[in-house]
Chain A
């Protein structure tokens, strides 16, 4: 293990007890522990010290709670009378208190879902507002009816309904509200992307996803819904009914099909497929200025050092119509660098980019992202599908001046850059119920 890796593992070990590590961080820690007996000893000691810290502070709390002994003196009849009257008052008070508690319990809302996955960049929080009350959310926290949740950029949230196994994943920069009508699950999606895996629902009480313009009725299925400049419903399995709120259009989209609503027009469903292509090459441009050899495994984007990223994907003569293209790069931690911030742009580059050549053709810009992204999180760029080549795609990622540098995993690392394509297939046989 190199010094850098060893420092990284040490910091994970230290933070294991004070924050939730991501799955990847846990994987790294597990494999480091597996291969290093000394580290296992260190972990045992740290666990013991952590238990002791809790125990000591628990003792301190208990000591604070100890009530001083009353003065030992013979109580006069006045004192007994006083004690008796206090006892009566206390008794009445207890009854009142119990009643109040029961009333409180009666009106206290029951949680409807529990957060099963949560990621937020350091310093940010995902909060929910319900009426006038706001509260921060965390892993394992409950969600209640009426909760309105906003996910800042770079965050991710999944939750599972308590009543059944329905799980929803909400992507970064989304806003939604949990609703219920006569026992049916409703989600108001104001903006963003929602991925759902819906358990079998009561046909009388189907789950619904609502937007300003449409309503999706779900009985049990897996689908992705995008509410952006267009509304796109992609159903992976099962079936979802898509109903226009102010029109007569109502159509059922079955698994393997997608339907769009663009410029107030709902398009008929078409079959789609998804494919992930891993980068066949990636590196940091202008790398001669990069001092640290360890960075060969990374793609570094830093405007101050004129460092840009190069990633290429071979689509091998792809002939289907691409409807969505997502470039996904993994932000990684490097020393104290726990993420980046700023405006990142993706350009279509030349096959063998000249490291010193400036990008002048701004029309070749494929995507832009502004915000912060923490280490361990994927940064996703929604690329313009019209500009994706059917063969080689050479992409250049650069950060605007003033941005805080990003470190991405290269195609040599554990999380190589990916290009996720969603493409429309030719409609061969029209399904009966479309």
Chain B
């Protein structure tokens, strides 16, 4: 295999594992924008390393191994304490999960986009504050003049509502 072929193969593997990797990184650092930045850095790194990679080995553990290094570095550079589910557990939960297949992800994302629009305005505002503006629940509680506990409960409930909405659309679409 030539170097170019190896790079192409590595990029194809990266694309296939992209959803899982994003989930893995996000799950550890819980900062979506930083997770996207790390994912980009990994993409650049693997194209450089592809020529030396032995494709007899499985790619997924290597990718999550690289992700772990970047996650640790992120915690170090941002001065935050790593307070995430253990790497062993992330490996067990996410590394080979079918939940992150790109076709599944893109289908659900399309449905979710519509489902969010159906939420009542107050609830949509809470979700926007959390996911669009990246506000903490403490801050949202101040803005909405509600207790933090009620914001936690609302977000949890809305996530369930949205999950059900996606599943309903998915079932309808499959019929």
**Contact status B79-A162, CB under 8 Å:** yes
The answer to whether A51 touches B86 (Cβ under 8 A) is no
* A51 and B148 contacting across the interface, CB-CB below 8 Å: no
Known: A122-B148, A123-B149. A51 touches B89 (CB 8 A): no
- Within 112-130 of B, Cβ neighbours of A (below 8 Å) are at 112-113, 116, 127-128, 130
Residues on A with beta carbons closer than 8 Å to the beta carbon of B26: 47, 50-51, 54
Cross-chain contact B93 with A43 (CB below 8 angstroms): yes
B85 x A116 contact (CB < 8 A): no
**5 A-B pairs with the lowest CB-CB distances in the bound complex, closest first:** A114-B79, A57-B131, A140-B80, A54-B32, A57-B132
Give me the interface of B with A, judged by CB distance under 8 Å: 19, 22-23, 26-27, 30, 32, 78-81, 83-86, 89, 92-94, 97, 99-100, 105, 108-109, 112-113, 116, 127-128, 130-132, 136-139, 141, 147-149, 152, 155-156, 159, 162-163
- Does A33 make an interface contact (CB < 8 A)? yes
Flag if B149 contacts A122 (CB, 8 Å): yes
Partner of A53, one of B85, B97, B156, B159: B159
A1-43 contacts to B (CB < 8 Å)? 14-21, 23, 26, 29-30, 33-34, 40-41, 43
A52-B85 in contact given A18-B137, A45-B99, A57-B128 (Cβ < 8 Å): no
In the complex, the chain B residue whose C-beta lies closest to that of A160 is B79
Pick out which of these stretches binds chain B: A58-66, A288-296, A317-325, A395-403: A58-66
Consensus secondary structure, chain B interface: helix
Between A34, A53, A117, the greatest number of chain B beta carbons within 10 A of the residue's beta carbon is seen for: A53
Q: Does A48 contact B (CB under 8 A)?
A: yes
Are B131 and A53 closer than 8 Å at their CB atoms? yes
Question: In the assembled complex, which residues on chain A have CB atoms less than 8 Å from the CB atom of B27?
Answer: 47
The answer to whether A30 and B86 have CB atoms under 8 Å apart is: yes
Smallest CB-CB separation from A54: which chain B residue? B32
* A140 and B137 within 8 A (CB): no
How many Å lie between the Cα of A51 and that of B33 in the bound state?
11
B152 and A18 contact, CB distance less than 8 A: yes
Residue of B nearest to A114 (CB): B79
A140 and B152 contacting across the interface, CB-CB below 8 Å: no
Contact A33 B32 (CB under 8 A): no
Rounded to whole Å, the gap between the CB of B132 and the closest CB of chain A is 4
Output the least CB separation between A421 and chain B (Å): 30
From A18, A30, A56, A338, B113 is in contact (CB under 8 Å) with: A56
Instruction: Please report the number of residue pairs spanning A and B whose Cβ atoms sit closer than 8 angstroms.
Output: 128
Min Cβ gap B111→A in Å is 9
User: Which of the listed residues B30, B92, B131, B137 has the most CB atoms from chain A within 10 Å of its own CB?
Assistant: B131
Contact check, B83 vs A52: say whether CB atoms are below 8 A apart.
Answer: no
B24 to chain A, nearest CB (A): 8
Of residues 330 to 372 in A, which have CB atoms within 8 Å of B's CB atoms?
A: 338
Q: How far is the CA of A29 from the CA of B86 in the complex (A)?
A: 10
A19 — which chain B residues lie within 8 A by C-beta?
136-137, 152
CA A49 to CA B130, docked complex, whole Å: 14
- Kindly state whether residue A393 has any CB partner on chain B within 8 Å: no
Residues from chain B with Cβ under 8 Å of A21 in the complex: 83
- Determine whether A55 belongs to the interface, using a CB cutoff of 8 Å to chain B: yes
Q: In the complex, are the beta carbons of B22 and A51 less than 8 A apart?
A: yes
Q: Which residues of A contact B108 (CB under 8 A)?
A: 48-49, 52
Given that A23-B83, A56-B116, A122-B148 are contacting pairs, would A33 and B100 also be in contact in the complex, using a CB cutoff of 8 Å? Answer: no
Q: Quick check: is A125 within 8 A (CB to CB) of the other chain?
A: yes
Q: How far is the CB of A152 from chain B (nearest CB, A)?
A: 13
Contacting residues, chain B, for A57 (C-beta < 8 A): 116, 127-128, 131-132
Are B93 and A40 interface neighbours, CB within 8 A? yes
Query: Is the pair A47, B94 in contact by a Cβ cutoff of 8 Å?
Result: yes
Contact of A58 among B30, B32, B100, B163 (CB under 8 A): B32
Residue of B nearest to A20 (CB): B83
Nearest neighbor of B86 in chain A, beta-carbon distance: A30
Question: What residue of chain A has the Cβ atom nearest to residue B114's Cβ?
Answer: A56
Taking a contact as CB atoms under 8 Å apart, the answer to whether A49 and B159 are in contact is: yes
Task: Report the Cα distance A18→B150, complex, angstroms.
Answer: 13
The smallest beta-carbon distance between B105 and chain A, in angstroms, is 7
Contacts of A34 in B (CB 8 A): 89, 92
Please determine whether B138 and A48 come into contact, CB atoms closer than 8 angstroms. no
In the complex, are the beta carbons of A136 and B152 less than 8 A apart?
A: no
A145-177 near B? 1/0 per residue, CB < 8 Å? 000000000000000101000000000000000
A44 is an interface residue with CB less than 8 A from chain B: yes
Among B23, B127, B147, the one with the most A-chain Cβ atoms within 10 Å of its Cβ is: B23
Contacts of B109 in A (CB 8 A): 52, 55-56
A35 to chain B, nearest CB (A): 11
Chain B residues with CB under 8 Å of A41's CB are 93
A139 within 8 A of B: yes
Query: Residue A138 at the B interface, CB < 8 A?
Result: yes
Report the minimum CB–CB distance from A144 to chain B (whole Å): 14
Q: Are A52 and B105 in contact (CB under 8 A)?
A: yes
B106 to chain A, nearest CB (A): 10
- Nearest-neighbor residue (CB-CB) of A23 within chain B: B83
Q: A52-B109, A60-B132 are in contact. Are A33 and B93 (CB under 8 A)?
A: yes
- Min Cβ gap B83→A in Å is 6
A49 touches B163 (CB 8 A): yes
